């Protein structure tokens, strides 16, 4: 099997950090939901629009800009995307109306849409196929593990210094990571004198440009449709978790202090362990069977069904403690 360049792990560290910032930038709006809704006099319906506005341009930028990751300079793309995230965080504390808040969420969504595709493209340049599972698992560990760590810290900041402090803190963190990425980030292994991962694993003929007539059949394949459905369900759950659960725990369950911090951070903590664990399992299945369907597709389908079961039980049980438990497990499987 193809060896992994040592510098790949440095690139992976930056992908983990950017994934963490990307995810926390998404969920921070939920952490400030109660004081922000109060200050701007927003109804629950208006808050729902705020939550969904993030995805209005997210979807289009995911397809359009995400597709560019295969042919453009990925280091530059990640640099520009990180710059957008950082600017939005520094600008959001100055919003004073619903329209301004919607604008910041739409811009952030457009800037974050290509992130998964970009991470995939960078991973493909630096890691051989048999390492993709652990690589993606580490990035997802950054997104969920980072959120588990950041949530209680940001809640404390909000309690002591107001909701604006959370955005400023994330803006500063984003600036630090962006500067380090510009210094240490590399476009491909060739920049450090290592051979291309893609050239080792694929014949040169397969690297030629693929026509739409060749590409379109894959869009209706069972594997692709399943992954799209899984991704849609996972993001639906993420949006509910990010936008509504902090307000639900605060206003309905009347959690505060440590209880609120645990209720918000535990789903991300469990998800972090689940993602890394299932990524390792997926890689082992791939090395053992060589079957991409069994290792990636089937496993993803099983975990999504477990997530759906947890969501059903979370709404069906009468116990608040059991409901929170299943709400905690569902994102981990998703």
Residues 142-183 pLDDT 10s = 777 888 888 889 999 998 999 999 999 999 999 999 999 999
Please give the C-alpha separations between residue 40 and each of 43, 92, 112, in angstroms, as whole numbers: 9, 13, 25
Burial of 211 (0-12, 13-18, 19+ CB in 10 A): exposed
The C-alpha angle 280, 283, 289, rounded to 5 degrees, equals: 140
Res 203: pLDDT? 46
**Residue length of the chain:** 334
Give the pLDDT mean for 275-296: 85
What CA–CA distance (Å, rounded) separates 29 from 52? 12
Kindly report the backbone phi and psi dihedral angles of residue 202, in degrees, each rounded to the nearest multiple of 5, phi listed first: -130, 145
Angle between helices 98-112 and 8-31 (to 10 degrees): 160
> At 207, is the pLDDT very low, low, confident or very high (cuts 50, 70, 90)?
very low
- pLDDT for 103 beyond 70: yes
Res 199: pLDDT? 45
Least confident piece of the model among 22-31, 199-208, 268-277: 199-208
Give the pLDDT mean for 325-330: 86
- Averaged confidence pLDDT in the chain: 84
Residues near 149 by Cβ (< 8 Å), separated by ≥ 6? 265
> Could you report how far apart the first and last alpha carbons of the chain are, in Å?
30
Res 209: pLDDT? 60
Residues 3-39 pLDDT 10s = 777 888 888 899 989 988 988 988 899 999 999 999 9
> At 331, is the pLDDT very low, low, confident or very high (cuts 50, 70, 90)?
confident
C-beta neighbour count of 100 within 10 angstroms: 14
- pLDDT for 93 beyond 90: yes
Higher pLDDT, 156 or 315: 156
> At 188, is the pLDDT very low, low, confident or very high (cuts 50, 70, 90)?
confident
Residues near 303 by Cβ (< 8 Å), separated by ≥ 6? 274, 278, 333, 334
Domain ranges of the chain: 8-191+215-333
Does the pTM of the predicted model rise above 0.85?
Answer: no
Give the pLDDT mean for 273-278: 82
8-191+215-333 has which CATH code?
Answer: 1.20.1250.20
Contact criterion met (CB below 8 Å) for 123 and 201: no
């Amino acid at each position: 099997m193809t060896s992994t360049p040592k510098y790949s792990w440095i690139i992976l560290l930056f992908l983990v950090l950017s994934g963490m910032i990307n995810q926390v930038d998404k969920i921070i709006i939920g952490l400030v939901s109660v004081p922000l809704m109060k200050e701007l006099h927003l109804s629950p319906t208006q808050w729902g629009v705020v939550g969904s506005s993030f995805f209005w341009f997210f979807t289009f930028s995911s397809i359009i800009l995400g597709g560019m990751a295969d042919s453009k300079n990925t280091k530059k793309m990640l640099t520009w995307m990180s710059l957008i995230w950082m600017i939005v965080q520094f600008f959001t504390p100055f919003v004073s109306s619903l329209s301004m808040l919607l604008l910041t969420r739409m811009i952030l969504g457009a800037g974050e849409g290509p992130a998964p595709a970009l991470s995939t493209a960078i991973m493909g340049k630096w890691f051989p196929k048999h390492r993709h599972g652990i690589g993606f698992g580490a990035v997802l560990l950054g997104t969920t593990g980072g959120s588990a760590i950041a949530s209680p810290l940001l809640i404390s900041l909000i309690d002591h210094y107001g909701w604006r402090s959370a955005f400023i803190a994330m803006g500063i963190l984003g600036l630090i990571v962006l500067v380090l990425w510009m210094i240490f980030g590399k476009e491909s292994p060739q920049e450090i004198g290592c051979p291309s991962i893609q050239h080792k694993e694929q014949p040169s003929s397969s690297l030629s440009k693929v026509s739409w007539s060749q590409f379109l059949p894959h869009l209706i394949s069972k594997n692709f449709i399943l992954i799209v459905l899984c991704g849609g369900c996972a993001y639906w759950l993420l949006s509910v978790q990010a936008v509504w659960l902090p307000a639900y725990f605060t206003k309905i369950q009347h959690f505060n202090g440590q209880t609120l911090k645990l209720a918000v951070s535990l789903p991300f903590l469990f998800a972090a362990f689940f993602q890394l664990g299932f990524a390792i399992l997926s890689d082992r299945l791939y090395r053992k069977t060589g079957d991409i369907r069994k290792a990636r597709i089937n496993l993803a389908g099983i975990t999504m069904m477990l997530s759906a079961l947890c969501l059903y039980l979370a709404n069906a049980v009468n116990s608040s403690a059991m409901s929170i438990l299943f709400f905690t497990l569902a994102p981990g499987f998703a």
